[in-house]
Amino acid sequence: MLPHKKITILVVDDELSIREAFSDWLKQDGFEVETADDGPVALAKIKERHYDIMLVDVKMPQMDGITLLKHLKENDPDTAVVMMTAHGAIQDAVEAIKLGANDYLLKPFELEELSLTIEKLVQMQTLAMENLILKDRVASITRFENLVGQSPPMLKLFETIVNVARSDATVLITGETGTGKELVARTIHARSPRGYSPFIAINCGAFTEHLLESELFGHERGAFTDAKFTKKGRLEMANAGTLFLDEVGDISMKMQIDLLRVLETHEFTRVGGTTTINSDFRVIAATHQDLQESIRRRTFRQDLFYRLNVIHLEVPPLRERPEDIPLLAEHFLRRYATETGKKIDSIHPEALAAMRRHAWPGNIRELENAIERAVVVGKSRQIKPADLPFVFAPGGAEEAANLSLEDMERRHIALVLAAEGGHITNAAKVLRINRNTLYEKIKKYGLTP
């Protein structure tokens, strides 16, 4: 339940029966309610204090609701306004919305309908307030080096990083894709006594066994056909610094033996060489795989696991720390707005709500990409729900659930094309496909650019 207690509503209507009925009803819903019987009375009241919500009748004898609304928007623009207008006078409602009213009700209406409308406004206001508070917070306590977060698991992680950075122990970082494993590794390095020496990363999953061997250990000239020069390996480059073994779960069984040996002795020879080389590096490893499971399947050596897993850090997936979503969104918004020079400085409460509902299978990387894209396609100062790749305007999630993948692709392309004013190159950029692919898809789906 939302914190109704503190929310104040002013009902402005010239009919006594309406004022009384609304007042009783809304008080039962837990709101603090006051009334005014005409525009000038309401104006006097809003000079005295702030109301969160105002219910305003359009037709009143001394000052009509539209005039009152204009005054209100000048005096206290943060008040949410619901206009009440007669069924035949929908144009008044339209005019009111244009002037900044948040919603309208067509008389006569059921009291339940009134409750729903108010409830919706309360939710929006709570979210908008959260948004404001966030802005202050992002700048201060919610940052640890480049890591943003305020959820209990992240605060705990920050604490662990401080301790781990002081030691020279080997660290194994696990977590789903995009959770920030590499960023955590970089943070540990930066805060460690080795921070001024190099941080050498190697993605073990990106190389074949032979290439990985020469990448890690280096090679002598002529060691194999392509070895035209002597090359230092990453183990050597990481001397005095930190070696980050990314995707360590992807290493072949043979390489695991070699790696284990070098982690124990810090001694090795280059491929094709005979000289023993010594390197003083600290190891931080990361993987998105479940290494215990790999050990059971005999694709990962238990002894190597123990060697790496001296200290274990688990980076939680984003869906387990929803408190961090708005914070991270704000953080990335600042970054990409600055980078692109676009004047986008806030996130619509509904967009924020959609982000909270999303499951984020790609975790923070997905969130970062979503915000980057929203900044690129955004046409106003605020990120709107429709700017988010996982929101399908106007139907929302339920409608999306009935669409085939092709339907979604068609709609998404149409959406981006429209947002880019039919500009193929820009649309292709947003969609991250090349122009030819986009042309093909436009033809396939019978779209008009």
Q: Where along the sequence are the contacts to ligand ATP (CB under 6 A)? A: 146-149, 175, 177-183, 288, 328, 331, 364-365, 368
Closest CA to 52 of 150, 104, 123: 123
Give me the amino acid identity at 176.
E
Q: How many whole angstroms separate alpha carbon 255 and alpha carbon 160?
A: 30
List Cα–Cα distances, 340 to 333, 335, 336, 372, in angstroms: 10, 9, 6, 9
Shortest reach from residue 273's CB to ligand ATP, in Å: 32
Shortest reach from residue 47's CB to Mg ion, in Å: 57
Closer of 234 and 270 to ligand ATP (Cβ): 234
Q: How many chain residues bind Mg ion (CB under 5 A)?
A: 1
Q: How many whole angstroms separate alpha carbon 37 and alpha carbon 342?
A: 46
Shortest reach from residue 54's CB to Mg ion, in Å: 51
- Please give the backbone phi and psi of residue 200, each rounded to the nearest 5 degrees, phi first: -110, 115
Closer of 117 and 187 to Mg ion (Cβ): 187
430 CB-near residues (< 8 Å, 6+ apart): 373, 376, 377, 416, 419, 420
Q: Which of the stretches 99-107, 179-187, 261-269, 338-346 binds Mg ion when contact is defined by CB under 5 A?
A: 179-187
Q: How many whole angstroms separate alpha carbon 399 and alpha carbon 443?
A: 25
Closer of 94 and 206 to ligand ATP (Cβ): 206
Instruction: Find the binding residues for Mg ion in span 251-310 (CB under 5 A).
Output: none
Q: How many whole angstroms separate alpha carbon 147 and alpha carbon 183?
A: 7
Q: Are 297 and 291 spatial neighbours (Cβ–Cβ below 8 Å)? A: no
Give the number of other Cβ atoms within 10 Å of residue 293's Cβ. 11
The three-state secondary structure class of 246 is strand
Q: How many whole angstroms separate alpha carbon 8 and alpha carbon 12?
A: 13
Closer of 182 and 368 to Mg ion (Cβ): 182
The three-state secondary structure class of 434 is coil
Q: Which of the stretches 136-144, 181-189, 274-282, 327-335 binds Mg ion when contact is defined by CB under 5 A?
A: 181-189
Binding at 178: pick from ligand ATP, Mg ion, none (beta carbon under 5-8 Å per type): ligand ATP
How many alpha carbons fall within 13 Å on the CB side of residue 316? 18
Shortest reach from residue 186's CB to ligand ATP, in Å: 8
Residue closest to ligand ATP when measured from CB atoms: 180
**Residue 250 found at the interface with Mg ion (CB under 5 A):** no
Closer of 176 and 182 to Mg ion (Cβ): 182
The residue within the footprint of Mg ion, chosen from 52, 182, 324, 420 (CB under 5 A), is 182
Shortest reach from residue 374's CB to ligand ATP, in Å: 16
Closer of 178 and 326 to Mg ion (Cβ): 178
Q: How many whole angstroms separate alpha carbon 376 and alpha carbon 339?
A: 11
Binding at 288: pick from Mg ion, ligand ATP, none (beta carbon under 5-8 Å per type): ligand ATP
Closer of 185 and 351 to Mg ion (Cβ): 185
Compute the Cα dihedral for 297, 302, 304, 307 and give only its sign: positive
Q: Which of the stretches 175-183, 213-221, 235-243, 261-269 binds Mg ion when contact is defined by CB under 5 A?
A: 175-183
Closer of 277 and 376 to ligand ATP (Cβ): 376
**Chain positions contacting Mg ion, by CB under 5 A:** 182
